Structure 1
Amino acid sequence: MAVIKTNSNDRKLLARLMRAEAEGEGEQGMLMVGNVGVNRVRGNCLDFKGIRSLEQMVFQRPGGFEATVKGYFYQRARDRDLRLANRVINGERVHPASNALWFFRPTGACPGQWYNQPNSGRYKNHCFFSPTQANCSNIYNTY
């Protein structure tokens, strides 16, 4: 069962975002990017108050995703990408992005915090950052 409201266009949008942001990180990395996106829609907290749809989340300015300004993002979603998007929309969580709202690719080690948010871990080239439960309880709720 979906943990956020979506339609087929939303699923394609999320699939394209996951591929564009993390294809080089493999399926696990793409799932983690999907976790961040779904968490931003579910959270309604911090930088993401009022973000209630995948489209709002993907194209949020400022604070959205860098991939949306690159041509690769605008290619058609592939079947594999759609399957991965469906998995996160249906509630699959992958550590360290399980409760993350942010990620980035540093040139070196992951900092302990990023914009005052604690580091929840690293996967390959990306560092993930999760708010505390006190700051964003919605993403800590179980499905």
Structure 2
Amino acid sequence: MGVVKARQQDIDMLARLLRAEAETEGEMGMLLVGNVGINRIRGNCSDFKELRTIPQMINQPHAFEALQHSLYYQGARDRERRLAQRAVNGERNWPAKFSL
């Protein structure tokens, strides 16, 4: 079970966001975008207080510029679905330069 509840349609939605936000950054960049989104749901603080689901997080006004671009509205691909599921599962695969 993941760190947030996610139906298959939520995974697909997150997968589309990962691709639209960070496809040029590779898998690590897309996973980091997924981590940011999951953190917003789990954080329950400040601007993210009312976020409880992946659709709420993605559709929060002015949260992700990618929703303004057509790439977000294309179908989810297997690669991004796997990355989205990893983020939902709570994987934190931070690059060494971000290690604490």
Higher helix residue share: 2
TM superposition shift of 1:94:
2.7
Report the TM-score, using the length of structure 2 for normalisation.
0.91
For residue 73 of structure 2, what is the aligned residue in structure 1?
Answer: 74
1:90 paired to 2:89: yes
Q: Structure 2: which 5+ runs fail to align? A: none
Q: Structure 1: which 5+ runs fail to align? A: 97-119, 122-143
Give the fraction of aligned pairs with identical amino acids, expressed as a percent.
57
CA RMSD of superposed structures (Å): 1.4
TM superposition shift of 1:89:
0.6
Higher CA-based Rg: 1
Higher strand residue share: 1
Contact 1:35 1:94 in 2 (8 A): no
For residue 33 of structure 1, what is the aligned residue in structure 2?
Answer: 33
Moved over 4 A (4+): none
Distance between the aligned counterparts of 1:9 and 1:52, measured in 2?
A: 15
Q: RCO higher in 1 or 2 (8 Å CA, sep ≥ 6)?
A: 2
TM superposition shift of 1:95:
2.3
Contact 1:14 1:85 in 2 (8 A): yes
Report the TM-score, using the length of structure 1 for normalisation.
0.65
